[in-house]
Amino acid sequence: MMQSQITSRPRYRELVAEDTAGAHLLIVEGDTLTPRQMAALAAAFAPVAERMQTWLVSAPATALAPGRVRKLQTVEEAAATLEHMDEGFGIADRLYLQGTEPFMWMLAAAATRAGLSPTQIRMQHAGSLKRRVWCTHCHQTTENVTTNIATCAGCGRELLVRDHFSRRLGAFMGVMVDAEAPGEVPQREEVFP
């Protein structure tokens, strides 16, 4: 992963069940599931399996998971479901997320709207390093960026993808790369595979 000295980047940790918590909800991005990862999650959550639900998003039909399992088609569907749960969340509940950064931060934003505090949410990165990029000039976001320079989906400018990250937007900052010398666009490199 590209490392800079910029300190606004989130750091992710291996998921650990917090056994004093109330209800536990684990949401996993399906394409990041490997049998080894699933086994690790099952072991991590074994102590709280009775108070636990797992949502698998865009997972193969045969996928297994700890706790009561629910399958959802897309991250958008998962976010909407999370935001509008009838029973709501309790102050002791925990949300655990595993997947790519755009996946996790989209769900974290939905959970925040549902009243969950950032201190109730745990994240573990898995899968691609692809980024959501927010254009500082037109304020549109560009999804699935894997290169250091990306074309903005909103204004078409060539953006340098910086390491500065906004949790609220779930996105990295993109800044026009050739503003000072129009046309001087450096070589694009795949840095977030």
Provide the binding-site residues for other proteins, judged by CB under 8 A. 5-9, 18, 20-22, 88-94, 114-117, 119-120, 134, 136-137, 139, 157, 162-169, 173, 175-176, 179-182
- 3-class state of residue 8 by DSSP: coil
Measured from the CB atom, is 72 or 173 closer to other proteins?
173
- Smallest gap from residue 192 Cβ to other proteins (A): 18
> Cα 112 from chain centroid?
14
Measured from the CB atom, is 10 or 127 closer to other proteins?
10
Measured from the CB atom, is 3 or 5 closer to other proteins?
5
List strands edge to edge, sheet with 121-125: 68-72, 52-57, 24-29, 94-99, 121-125
- Smallest gap from residue 46 Cβ to other proteins (A): 18
- Smallest gap from residue 183 Cβ to other proteins (A): 11
Give the DSSP per-residue string, 114-156: TT--GGGEEEEE-S---EEEEETTT--EEEEE-BSEEE-TTT-
Q: What is the dihedral of CA 53, 58, 63, 65, to 10 degrees?
A: -20
- Smallest gap from residue 97 Cβ to other proteins (A): 16
Measured from the CB atom, is 75 or 95 closer to other proteins?
95
